Amino acid sequence: MNILVTNDDGINSKGIFDLVTELKKLGHVTVVAPDGQRSACGHALTIENALRVKKFYKNDEFFGYAVNGMPSDCVKLALSEILDTKPDIVVSGINHGQNTSQNIFYSGTAAAASEGMLAGIPSMAVSVVSFDTQYDCRPAAIYAAELAAKLPGLGLPKDTFLNMNIPSLPYNEIKGTEITQLSNATWKDAYEKRRDPFGREYYWFSGEYISADEESGSDDWALNQGKISVSPIRINFTNSEFADKLKSTLLELSTL
Amino acid sequence: MNILVTNDDGINSKGIFDLVTELKKLGHVTVVAPDGQRSACGHALTIENALRVKKFYKNDEFFGYAVNGMPSDCVKLALSEILDTKPDIVVSGINHGQNTSQNIFYSGTAAAASEGMLAGIPSMAVSVVSFDTQYDCRPAAIYAAELAAKLPGLGLPKDTFLNMNIPSLPYNEIKGTEITQLSNATWKDAYEKRRDPFGREYYWFSGEYISADEESGSDDWALNQGKISVSPIRINFTNSEFADKLKSTLLELSTL
């Protein structure tokens, strides 16, 4: 199996290293990942600037290609320029911090998986519920690799990728896996207004994640039970039902 | 009506100026937009850096607030810090360049509208089919304002915003409006490999938009007919049908 791996925490993060270590047991792994932290970059693409690709070594061994761009750039560059053959799967992660609910909008980890999906490749995103950059992702990586091995055979629809979140528990304390939907948790946005050393104002995002973890069957609910959450994420933007309603409403507009 | 306006081409672009000129006829307009070009930034959010908000003047008049961030930052900052009351609608644009089909993944214009939607506000994105930064957006702005005026009364579902694309035709040559779905057009990705003045390699995205404009009822099809396209964009990430199928498949996994 040929596996393309990327992430949004950067090629030097612990999550991607632990993931790659496990995935190498499944087949040939190529890592193409950002050269640094790109959290919350969403599906951003670099089109106004030059992209550099540099070989990245870890523990004196070649580990992969570091790109001065976004996770989506990494997938596109890998498929267009770096890989000789189309990979069998794309795995994005392991992200330090859960990607549940509305976080899918902002997550570079999820965007990279959707970029793989757009290219017609079975793809998945993986995250652990810990923002600690030194968190030991080896237990999570074992579970992630197990799902990755099954990915080509799952019959994923063309518009769907998998989003896996893993609790921050020791390997043996994980209570199982749930197939989930995204929870209705939201961000309560807030900004801290501060002053720089020159007395000028600036803002820093300090939003709070408001969980709605009561909903049985949601990703946040599963994680709170100590279970792994796997959500099939469909990206199908057209609201066809509402389109029908809109047709009659908009006919009333004069010039439109 | 209180209207929040943003874009991804930057607060000094022609598209946002022409749009605001028309929207001022409908009510009170507040502009909070990036301080420069942010094309293809997707739903990126600035969380690792300070955000600055500066008053921006155009033709010696106060025009709005310029932010050194992304379109989604602008909407969040406006709602959290700049506006005293929740706006009645959010309008993002007018983008120089069409946002049809897969472009919704990457578009900062569309992401800003979806950010308004996430905040529970009827929201729309507007684009013209011309990448010319000097393109006269006044005709398009008239149509955009006409839709904006109707936006609060359309009964938009909570998970849906409108994506409007307007052909680059004189006002009177536009052939009407179609309620559309996103076309199946795709990006054929490619990168140009170049060398900098020091002989070092770099890549530049040079992808090609492969239209599938035969599909009747799609956004690209409407534009090719000289018509305005309005697509209701739903963001509902969970693929519930496939979840049911996945439940039985994943039960076979040993440890999962």
- Indicate the residue of A42, A146, A236 with minimum beta-carbon distance to B42: A42
Q: Which of A32, A45, A54 to mutate to test the interface with B (most CBs of B within 10 A)?
A: A45
pLDDT in tens, A111-168: 999 999 999 999 999 999 999 999 999 999 999 999 999 999 999 999 999 999 999 9
Nearest-Cα distance to chain A for B127, in Å, is: 15
A202 falls within a domain: no
- Residue B175 pLDDT: 92
Q: Cα angle vertex A112, ends A111, A118, to 5°?
A: 85
Nearest-Cα distance to chain A for B28, in Å, is: 22
B7 falls within a domain: yes
Average pLDDT over residues B195-221: 89
The pTM of the full predicted model, rounded to 2 decimals, is 0.93
B86 falls within a domain: yes
Q: Which residues contact B27 (CB under 8 A, 6 or more apart)?
A: B1, B2, B3, B88
Q: Which residue has the tokens 């993060």?
A: A13
- ipTM (interface predicted TM): 0.90
A190 falls within a domain: no
**CA A73/CA A231 separation, integer angstroms:** 24
A72 falls within a domain: yes
Q: Which residues contact B84 (CB under 8 A, 6 or more apart)?
A: none
The number of C-beta contacts closer than 8 angstroms across A and B is 238
**Residue in chain A nearest B81 by alpha carbon:** A191
**Residue in chain B nearest A41 by alpha carbon:** B44
A189 falls within a domain: no
- Residue B212 pLDDT: 76
Q: How far apart are the first and last CA of chain B?
A: 53
- Residue B255 pLDDT: 55
B176 neighbourhood in chain A, CB within 8 Å: 256
Mean pLDDT taken over chain B: 93
pLDDT in tens, A32-56: 999 999 988 999 999 989 999 999 9
- Return the percentage of chain A with pLDDT > 90, whole number: 86
**Residue in chain A nearest B50 by alpha carbon:** A204
Check which CATH number belongs to the domain holding A132 and give it: 3.40.1210.10
B205 falls within a domain: no
- Structural domains counted in chain A: 1
- Residue B254 pLDDT: 52
Q: Which of B237, B244, B252, B255 to mutate to test the interface with A (most CBs of A within 10 A)?
A: B237
> What is the bridge-based pairing of β-strands B191-195 and B201-205?
antiparallel
For residue A19, give its domain range. Answer: 2-184+213-250
B204 falls within a domain: no
**CA A24/CA B57 separation, integer angstroms:** 56
Interface touch A231/B238, C-beta < 8 Å? yes
